[in-house]
Structure 1
Amino acid sequence: MEIKSLLKVTLILTLCVIMMGAYTRLSDAGLGCPDWPGCYGMIKAPTTNHELSTAQNAFPQHTIETDKAWLEMIHRYIAGALGLMVLAILIMSLRKTGAPKKLPLFIAALIVFQAALGMWTVTMKLMPIVVMLHLMGGFALFALLLLLYLRNKPLRIPGGDTPARKFSALALACIGVLLLQIMLGGWTSSNYAALACTSLPICEGNWVDNLNFSAAFSPFQGEHQTYEYGVLDYSARMTIHVAHRIGAIVTTIMLLLLAFKLVTKAHSSVLRNAAWLLTTLVVLQVALGISNVVLHLPLGIAVSHNAGAALLLLTLVFINYALLRKA
């Protein structure tokens, strides 16, 4: 298999890992297995009476929920397969003349760090800062794999599309704003603040007077036996939620502004099509966000909201790459 084909498959698998991670987290199955890398000391979730008895004896303080344990293990299996594919990409890149070398090395290092974050997510009992970093690592991996794919697949914009290149700074700023919004989303989820506000457009009641930024965004939340279901009070969770909503408004405006400028000013159909895709994804993402509030965080929509953020990031990575490439 050529490296470009392998990268395509790896990109799809990375999206699956991101979505499965979101599904596991939103199903409250992040501690479905209290140990790592196995599950109750086994390579799979315990299911038979003998396995359940052995697991209960080994972890008497835990209530075994087989369905949640399987969710966690399936996530680990897929992540493990992704790690092997990244290793294969690294080996092929090092062997192939003219292929990028530093980027695949960095991606391989990132996935090792991701594995460590996955372990700490369990051993530190869903500490929010670790959960958020694990989420951001997955998004970073997704973006870097696309960048590596683009570097292995020559992309040329006819004439360099000089009129569009003046929007390079805006496109780069859009990536920064989107990453901050993804971080806010991860912080909202890891602190179980997604339902802290259930009305639109911002929050119910006198929310302005209840804002508590110091508690909401402190990475240190004290020592607890577990952080599952959150440890912050309502005002802190509400503050996180409000910040995420305001961030969504800013992000939407900036991304739509970039898309509008590219649609109206770019000469290249590649950039115009990417701008239309960006517009579509932004509209869908806003609709999913509103649906999460109105429908009280249904699992399918919440997972799709995570996938939408990942696809938005990939689209912006492509646009930035295309704008910076010379003819």
Structure 2
Amino acid sequence: MNKTLLQKLSTWTILLTMVVIILGAYTRLTDAGLGCPDWPGCYGFIKVPMTESRIAQAEMAFPERPLEPFKAWNEMIHRYFAGTLGLMIAAIFFISWFGKFSAPRLLPSVLAVLVIFQAALGAWTVTLSLLPIVVMAHLMGGFTLLCLLGLYWLQLRPELLQGMEPQLHKLKPLAVLTTVVVALQIALGGWTAANYAALACLELPICEPGWASRLELGEAFSLHLGYDDYEFGVMSQDARQTIHVFHRIGAGITLLVTGLFSWLLWQQAKTDLMKKLALALGAILLLQFILGVLNIVLHLPLLNAVAHNFVGANLLLCMVVILYQLRRRTREQET
């Protein structure tokens, strides 16, 4: 009974994590990250103040940031869903440790610690006024939660894992490299978004003419600590262009490395599972590349940008699942 409950709970938790990732991207892209200038409430209330008296009280408490209901609701809805996700991960942790059957315990423990740290990052995002390194870390934390939940989902369903494929052993180093490349590109995308550099270059394939002479590496990858407010960015236009250029170059590298790995995996895999994972990886990679190009051509339309963020999370999830399968088969071969 407990095992069936955990299986269902893990599925719903993964789906909720995806919703939280989408809401987080939507909140960031609608500039609602400081829609509520305090945490965990909103202007001192558990929900967005709506009556005239509460609005007056809120604006008296935070005169430097007048209430914008649309942005405030975006932020609070994200927090409500994130809080529910935390409770579901806590339930997974307690059932795994105290249930009446043998269940994996390491990943639920890591997930519990990570979701607590993720909550802290959410609080720091607000209290440190969108400090870019915190915003980027919050994004990466959400993606990491999704990937670990995916692995836990697989651990609860060992019957889905197919037999060993010794011929895939030689692809493991490339799988590790590909996972690292994807993770670094996502981090670079988070740094681009956190520093409001998504529209710093509007021409293809790299940037506006003369971009190479305007590179500002020191400023672009500095933490810029000590500012009171990071909303809408504190970097110069040249520094933002530098970040954007590196993200585009990273996109090209990611496309080549991940595309090569997907093709090799599809060619060499024998089981349906690995072939399907290879095809899924290639399809997600292509979709992510198209969404990235559309972000430039259409000047960052909201739904497209949210989709770019969400598909990036799924690209990393797919690579982590594939790497898990390859490492598992390697261990089986060694034993």
Matches within 5 A, 1:71-150: 71-96=74-99, 97-150=101-154
How large is the Cα RMSD of the aligned pairs?
1.1
Contact 1:156–1:325 (Cα < 8 Å) also in 2:
no
Shift of 1:215: 0.7
Shift of 1:156: 3.0
The Cα offsets for residues 261-280 of structure 1, whole Å up to 9 and x where unpaired, read as 11111111100111101111
Matches within 5 A, 1:148-159: 148-154=152-158, 155-158=160-163
The Cα offsets for residues 109-134 of structure 1, whole Å up to 9 and x where unpaired, read as 11000111100000000010110011
* Structure 1, unaligned runs of 5 or more: none
Q: Distance in 1 between matches of 2:281 and 2:107?
A: 26
1:253 equivalent in alignment to 2:256: yes
Shift of 1:58: 1.7
* Structure 2, unaligned runs of 5 or more: none
The corresponding residue for 1:325 is 328
Contact 1:192–1:237 (Cα < 8 Å) also in 2:
yes
One-letter amino acid of the structure 1 residue matched with residue 142 of structure 2: G
One-letter amino acid of the structure 1 residue matched with residue 289 of structure 2: V
One-letter amino acid of the structure 2 residue matched with residue 152 of structure 1: L
Shift of 1:137: 0.6
Shift of 1:223: 2.2
The corresponding residue for 1:6 is 9
| TM-score, length basis structure 2 | 0.95
Q: Distance in 1 between matches of 2:299 and 2:77?
A: 26
Shift of 1:251: 0.6
User: SS at 1:2's partner residue?
Assistant: helix
1:228 equivalent in alignment to 2:231: yes
| TM-score, length basis structure 1 | 0.97
One-letter amino acid of the structure 2 residue matched with residue 237 of structure 1: R
Q: Distance in 2 between matches of 1:98 and 1:258?
A: 36
User: SS at 2:165's partner residue?
Assistant: helix
Shift of 1:151: 1.3
User: SS at 1:325's partner residue?
Assistant: helix
Q: Distance in 2 between matches of 1:13 and 1:125?
A: 26
Matches within 5 A, 1:172-251: 172-219=176-223, 221-251=224-254
Shift of 1:258: 0.8
The corresponding residue for 2:54 is 51
The corresponding residue for 1:292 is 295
Shift of 1:321: 1.4
The Cα offsets for residues 70-107 of structure 1, whole Å up to 9 and x where unpaired, read as 00000000000000000000011102433111221111
Shift of 1:233: 0.1
Q: Distance in 2 between matches of 1:51 and 1:3?
A: 42
Contact 1:163–1:267 (Cα < 8 Å) also in 2:
no
